[in-house]
Amino acid sequence: MLSLSREVTGDFQNLQATEPSEPCVRYLPRLYLDIHNHCVLAKLRDFVASPQCWKVAQVDGLKDKVRKLYTIMNSFCRRDLVFLSDDCNALEYPIPVTTVLPDRQR
């Protein structure tokens, strides 16, 4: 489930980078997923319910992955999910990537 959520987030970012001029891509709900955020199920539902981009095959593929993740979370893992946050705004923006540089050896 965690790897699928990372894959969905990565695919969404790639879609925004490769198809930024498509009107439907610009208006898709943002997908920066955290499976431990209580708002993630609503975010997945909103994304799947958003208007289709008939000319953009990547969107259909992404929606299939989102449906799969939603089904896994809502049906198979429902009782096992642990939500650590309910910050819906956190799902609107990418998580900053921090790079830890290794210590230089002298």
pLDDT tens digits, 69-98: 888 888 877 666 667 777 778 777 766 544
Which residues in the chain land under pLDDT 50?
97-101, 105-106
Alpha helices in 19-99 (DSSP H): 23-26, 40-49, 57-71
Residue 27 lies inside a defined structural domain of this protein: yes
Residue 37 lies inside a defined structural domain of this protein: yes
Residue 100 lies inside a defined structural domain of this protein: no
Residue 31 lies inside a defined structural domain of this protein: yes
Cα-trace Rg, the chain: 16
Across the chain, what does the average pLDDT equal?
Answer: 78
Residue 98 lies inside a defined structural domain of this protein: no
Residue 55 lies inside a defined structural domain of this protein: yes
Which amino acid, residue 99? T
Residue 28 lies inside a defined structural domain of this protein: yes
Residue 68 lies inside a defined structural domain of this protein: yes
Question: How many residues does this entry show for the chain?
Answer: 106
pTM for this prediction: 0.74
Nearest to 48 by CA among 32, 68, 33, 34: 68
Cα angle 99-19-22, degrees, rounded to a multiple of 5: 140
Total structural domains within the chain: 1
